[in-house]
């Protein structure tokens, strides 16, 4: 039974699982695809910001399209963050 429960949580080490259970009495395995999506959005947003910064440094200009793109990425990030917070609140 212990091995089965350990495998369900994704913990490979029996000693790590037993320590966690002895200390906390439970193991929570969170599967939040929204978190993976948010990390991906953060990476893309960071890359876009770097490209825009290089463009500004080269030309000395910023375009409305660049600002709009930044705002769109920020809105997507906030949506992901809010979804994650809702799911975490439902757990507590």
Domain definitions of the chain by residue range: 1-29, 31-92
The answer to whether 55 touches 16, Cβ cutoff 8 Å, is: no
Six-digit token pair at 76? Answer: 């997507």
CA atoms within 13 A on the CB side of 85: 6
The predicted-structure confidence for 21-72, as pLDDT tens digits, reads as follows: 888 887 777 777 888 888 888 888 888 888 888 988 899 888 888 888 888 8
The predicted-structure confidence for 5-22, as pLDDT tens digits, reads as follows: 888 888 889 998 898 888
Note the pTM of the prediction, 2 decimals: 0.53
Tokens 């500004």: give the residue.
Answer: 56
The reported pLDDT for the residue numbered 82 is 87
The reported pLDDT for the residue numbered 92 is 57
| Dmax (CA) of the chain | 65
The reported pLDDT for the residue numbered 85 is 84
- Distance, in Å, from the CA atom of 10 to the CA atom of 7, rounded to the nearest integer, reads 5
């Amino acid at each position: 039974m212990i091995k089965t429960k350990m495998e369900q949580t994704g913990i490979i080490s029996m000693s790590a699982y037993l320590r966690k259970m002895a200390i906390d009495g439970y193991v929570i395995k969170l599967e939040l695809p929204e978190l993976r999506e948010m990390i991906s959005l953060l990476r893309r947003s960071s890359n876009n910001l770097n490209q825009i910064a290089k463009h500004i440094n080269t030309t000395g200009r910023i375009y409305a399209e660049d600002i709009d793109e930044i705002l769109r990425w920020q809105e997507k990030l906030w949506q992901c963050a809010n979804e994650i917070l809702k799911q975490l609140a439902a757990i507590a």
